[in-house]
Amino acid sequence: MKDFWRFAKLLLEHRGRVVAALTFGLLSAGGLGAGLLAATPVLEIILQRDPAKAKDLPKLAEEANTKFLGGHVPQAWIDALPTGQFTAVVWVVGALGLLTLFGAFCNFMHAYLSMTVVAKTIADLRERTFTHLVRLPLATVVRMGHMTLVRRVSSDTGMLAAGFNTLLSRSFAQLTKGVAAGLAAFYTNFWLALSAMVAAPILYTVVRRTGKIIRRGSRAGLNTTGGLMAALVEVGSNLRVVKSSTSEKREQARFAAISRELLAIEMKIRTARAIGTPLVESLTIFALGGLSLVAANAIIRGSLQPAEFFVTLASLGIAAASLKPLMGMWHDLQTSSAAAQELAAMLALPEELTGDEALPTLARHRESIRFDRVTLTYPGAERPAVRELSLEIRHGQTVAFVGPNGCGKTTLLSLIPRLLEPDAGSGGVYVDGVDIRTVSRVGLRQQIGVVTQETVLFKGTIRSNIAYAVETASDEQVRSAARKARAEEFILQKPKGYDDPVGEGGSGLSGGQRQRIAIARAVLRDPAILILDEATSMIDSESEARIAEAITEFSKGRTCLVVAHRLSTVINADRIVVMEAGRMVDSGTHGELLGRCPLYRSLVEHQMPRNGGGEGGGTGTPA
């Protein structure tokens, strides 16, 4: 529970509201206790059959003045009260009614303020968790899986909110009412109330043991639920591939296996939750039965007044009814504790930009980019994605990287903006002779423009997507970038032009249009280094030549690094780097490699189409 309590301390950031909520909760409980104590004289009046011992309002007030107020109320005020047994009952019942209305108001204020504090605290924690998520290194995100991290921000904070509401609102209200009713029982008849406490140690043991089972099961359930969500998203977003591969049965079996694992965990939790309440109820009934026997014997012997017995029994019953839900609430806290553990583990992960502001900013690139014996292995992989690779690229060159799928091209280029880091003990990446690990990541990335094969657009407008990385860009700068990317022609055909809305994931735009907006976004950054990872894969054959012309024009005076499978993209590069299994096999011009590199020749003959076959790419004609 330590992680849960650590997060619960965040509630104190709203200290004023917390104090007010707890105060109203105590006032509500105090009203309940006072009401129970006031029931004793009412019962004494009703049950008293001896006229000589009958009490009315002045007698009750005189007793209360002596017992509770030290006799400070003037006797004249007491004598002015109306007499008569029924009148006394009416006044006491009326006072109880007012006390009930006061308690209801305090209950409302307690719940209202408690839920306000919880909502504000969770909103702050959710934002903090999201901020931490986007600052994590890419390798950490790849290792954990993005769906796991999404669940931390959404589901885990939601479960924590449920625990906070239980702690601050529900459990506090129930606990204070139970304590107030218990104190009323002890005040009315101490020994009778004490006799009912014999079941307390047994109840504590039951709650503690079942709580442990639920906490452990909930944590395992959270992890399994993450796998279930990941499988759902993976299949849902790739249903075309699943159906084309006739893999429905395989995916059904995989999902069923995860679902059965989750079911087994839920069954264990179910048993712990189900057995707790019947045990508590049974113990409570046995305790009350024994108490009734003790009380009956005392009443028969004349050592206990019936009114005291009824009020004590009623107070204990209300205390038990108030405390009974605490077991379920304790189980809820155990579930929230599991979520808190997972959330705390994520927040403990080191952020990518820690200490970045203290590092110097790299001067604008103007000399070279050098990979020096670089090796990178993904977590859990059997072999490195990039292995002992050394390469130097002069400023202003356009260098194409080719090779079979999975040979490490994209991984290698991801090292330049430090999206990934080389293995410990291996070499490094140097820009203009400076180890990029010694300079600010932010300053480094501001010099780099990246366009990937999987075009990413965000919900907003065309203008906001082009200016995504340069929020201060003027309208003319945005338009200029769009023209250079050959995007303005289709943008102006949209109903609202640059202000036309873009749906989630770029819905409403064709693949080629999305790609051109992504290119415009990179152009707007005015980068010194331009990385194009299959950037024209979604461009139709007619537009490809114009886009290539625009990129050629824009890349002058910049270092341009291209990952491509199309011969038309590769053939005009200043230099071509051929990779296989994470190593550099050869490098040179198109003509040189055709003559001496069998792997390059094979790629050209079998895997590099000369140009696309329409919007969205195609196989084309082998070169």
Q: pLDDT band at residue 397, thresholds of 50, 70 and 90?
A: very high
Q: pLDDT band at residue 433, thresholds of 50, 70 and 90?
A: very high
Domain coverage including residue 233 = 2-347
What's the average model confidence in pLDDT over 559-566? 86
Q: In this predicted structure, what is the pLDDT of residue 49?
A: 46
Q: In this predicted structure, what is the pLDDT of residue 567?
A: 78
Q: Would you say residue 436 lies in a domain?
A: no
> 93-135: per-residue pLDDT in tens?
677 778 778 888 888 888 889 889 988 898 888 888 888 888 8
Q: Would you say residue 376 lies in a domain?
A: no
> 335-359: per-residue pLDDT in tens?
788 888 888 888 888 888 777 878 9
Which H or E run contains 253? helix 248-301
Q: In this predicted structure, what is the pLDDT of residue 38?
A: 65
Which letter, b or e, does each residue of 179-213 get, where b requires 16 or more Cβ atoms within 10 Å of its Cβ? bbbbbbbbbbbeebbebbeebeeebeebbeebbeb
Angle of CA points 10, 352, 142, to nearest 5°: 100
For the ranges 38-42, 416-420, 445-449, 524-528, which has the lowest average pLDDT?
Answer: 38-42
| Residues in Cβ contact with 541 at an 8 Å cutoff, skipping those fewer than 6 apart | 611, 612, 613, 614, 618, 620
Q: Is 240 exposed, middle or buried (0-12, 13-18, 19+ CB in 10 A)?
A: exposed
Q: In this predicted structure, what is the pLDDT of residue 50?
A: 44
Specify the 3-state DSSP secondary structure of 521: helix
Q: Would you say residue 291 lies in a domain?
A: yes
Q: Report the amino acid identity of residue 162.
A: A
Q: Would you say residue 315 lies in a domain?
A: yes
Q: Would you say residue 140 lies in a domain?
A: yes
What tokens appear for 222 in the block? Answer: 């959270």
Q: In this predicted structure, what is the pLDDT of residue 180?
A: 81
Provide the CATH number for the domain around residue 244: 1.20.1560.10
Q: In this predicted structure, what is the pLDDT of residue 242?
A: 61
Residue spans of beta strands (DSSP E) within 458-617: 460-461, 501-502, 529-533, 559-563, 575-580, 583-588
> 144-159: per-residue pLDDT in tens?
777 777 777 887 888 8
Q: In this predicted structure, what is the pLDDT of residue 316?
A: 72
Q: Would you say residue 422 lies in a domain?
A: no
Q: Would you say residue 114 lies in a domain?
A: yes
Q: In this predicted structure, what is the pLDDT of residue 376?
A: 94
> 78-98: per-residue pLDDT in tens?
666 666 656 666 666 677 778
> Angle 475-484/541-554 helices, nearest 10 degrees?
120
pLDDT of 516 over the 80 cut: yes
Pick 33 or 351 by higher pLDDT: 351
Pick 149 or 195 by higher pLDDT: 149
Q: Are 370 and 584 in contact (CB under 8 A)?
A: no
Q: Would you say residue 208 lies in a domain?
A: yes
| Residues in Cβ contact with 183 at an 8 Å cutoff, skipping those fewer than 6 apart | 33
What's the average model confidence in pLDDT over 225-242? 61
Which of 223-227, 362-366, 520-524 is modeled with the greatest confidence? 362-366
Average pLDDT, the chain: 78
Q: In this predicted structure, what is the pLDDT of residue 618?
A: 36
Q: pLDDT band at residue 238, thresholds of 50, 70 and 90?
A: low
| Structural domains in the chain (count) | 1
